[in-house]
Chains A and B, each alone.
Chain A
Amino acid sequence: MSLALREALRAFQRTPMLSLLSVTTIAFSLFAFGLYGLVALNLRNALQQVEDRVEVRGFVAAGTAPEAVSAAVGDVAIFPEVGDVRLVTETQALERARRELREFADVFEPGILPASIEVRMKPGFRDPQTVRTVARRLEAYDFIDDVRFGEEWVENLYRLRTIASAAGIALGLTFAFVAMIIIGSTIRMAVLARSREIAIMRLVGATDGFIRLPFLIEGFLKGLLGGVLALVLTWIAFEVSGRWVMQVTYFEPLVAVAGVAGGALLGLLGSAVSVGRHLRKV
């Protein structure tokens, strides 16, 4: 094992340019992957925030008995899809409008704004279908004049999310595949550069496992280094974006570690494939 590690490190020492090249190509493919991941993560967070605001609002007809309205609020609150129901009285609606639209404070007179029942959906029930069902049920009360839930808006939001995750999966797989091919071919170059040594090892009776091990370690280390470098690059991109473009979220520590481990795994797999192919051939 220590010999295999020494051989793997010696490979870095003997062909520093080739090693540097492979680490940077791995780093850049993982970096592209990481950048996409950051974009996807932030897109998801943004959608989440928008989604949290999804809300169905039913306007109460003027002159409805308050008991009827609060009974309705109680009913709606026990719908399984519903997270939170609030009654906004005429007075509260007026206050809110005056507060939020200070310039027009004088325009709002008592009685101009209807009372309303505001419904927030539970997480996981914010898809257009469910929102529409709840809106229908609210509409069924005869003292509800009108229901608004931004139907189109909810649907667009959902479509965007579906497209975003499909594109994410496709791009992610492509990048992982490209990274593996790059690692595989850099290890293949390393294998070819050492084919004389490999031939001698076999001649004197080294086992295939023994011959393979230094290359696996080399691939693993290159993947690991590439992963760390990619993490540094995404961190820089994150900082730059935070300073100049907009505040974004960074990966959680566990995700970052998983990314680096993913790089190491890609390195390991790429080199296993290359060395395996070489050993089978000779």
Chain B
Amino acid sequence: MIRFTKVSKQYARGGPALEDLTFHLRRGEFAFLTGPSGAGKSTILKLIYVAERPSSGEVRVDGKSSVTMSRSEIPRLRRRLGVVFQDFRLLDDRTAEQNVAFALEVTGTPSANIAPRVQRALTQVGLASKATALPGELSGGEQQRVAIARALVNDPLVLLADEPTGNLDERATRGIFQLLRDINSSGTAVLMATHDLDLVRNTNLRTLELNHGRLVFDSAAADDPGAVQ
């Protein structure tokens, strides 16, 4: 569903961020992206949600190729992706449910459908009781749950998480991680960039390890050589 083929990325200002990267993430799969700071984890996620384009090679997401995609096709693709970040990126002057509803309102969802879908997404992340709280009234873990609910409310194919637990303590980290696994087990693929090696080691989930923009280890390739060409 997400396929990188010989992808290199060079930012306009800066050295090479990714070099000759090839991998495939299947529908419904869970994978970690790991590697030291500056290895290119965020860059991979940006290429998937088309905030950046590859300098060479091809990124295919749900059948759409980075080579042929026009600017006007990007919004439609993004509606099938959910993205969350370390810093939550919520609107501080809106309640939890308004933040979640925002994603539906701005993508033209009929207003009658909005409230029930918001309700469902908030229930899924375990925050139905805090629907009317402002972000400032929520803990970091709860704010990240709101952000995840916003990412899920459009029923995405894949949830892209860029260090979602980077700002959280251990307990909240475990909670968010468990939530991401639950979401994955209900069918949504998850690609999670993380620094938290304890989290990675304690699971047997697929891990893509980067260093200096190169893929240095793919646990799927170890047991299934077909996953990395």
Which residues from chain A sit less than 8 Å from chain B, CB to CB?
A: 3, 14, 196-197, 199-208, 210-211
Contacts and interface: CB of A to CB of B under 8 A. Distances in A.
A203 B78 CA distance: 7
B102 A205 contact: no
Contacts of B76: 205
Contacts, number: 46
B197 interface: no
Given A204-B79, A206-B75, A196 B89 contact: yes
Interface stretch (B53-61, B103-111, B181-189, B213-221): B103-111
B49 interface: yes
A196 B107 contact: no
B77 interface: yes
Contact residues of A: prevailing secondary structure:
helix
Contacts of A206: 75, 106-107
A210 B78 CA distance: 15
B224 interface: no
B93 interface: yes
A203 B49 contact: yes
B79 to A, nearest CB: 4
Nearest to A210: B106
Contacts of A14: 93
Contacts of B107: 204-206
A199 to B, nearest CB: 7
Contacts of B103: 200, 204
Contacts of B105: 3
B91 A196 contact: yes
A265 B89 CA distance: 35
Interface of B: 49, 72, 74-79, 81, 83, 89, 91, 93, 102-103, 105-108, 150, 154
B167 to A, nearest CB: 17
A210 B108 CA distance: 9
A201 B81 CA distance: 13
B53 to A, nearest CB: 14
Contact of A200 (B75, B79, B93, B102): B102
A208 B75 CA distance: 8
Contacts of A196: 89, 91
Contact of A207 (B75, B81, B91): B75
A205 to B, nearest CB: 4
A19 to B, nearest CB: 16
A26 to B, nearest CB: 26
A207 B73 CA distance: 9
A205 B107 CA distance: 6
B89 A204 contact: no
B89 A201 contact: no
B150 A204 contact: yes
Nearest to A197: B91
Given A205-B78, A205-B79, A206-B107, A200 B154 contact: no
Contacts of B154: 204-205
A281 B107 CA distance: 21
Contacts of B72: 207
Nearest to B108: A210
Contacts of A211: 106
Given A14-B93, A196-B91, A204 B78 contact: yes
26 contacts: A3-B105, A3-B106, A14-B93, A196-B89, A196-B91, A199-B89, A200-B102, A201-B102, A201-B106, A202-B78, A203-B49, A203-B78, A203-B89, A204-B78, A204-B79, A204-B102, A204-B103, A204-B106, A205-B74, A205-B77, A205-B78, A205-B81, A206-B75, A206-B107, A207-B75, A208-B75
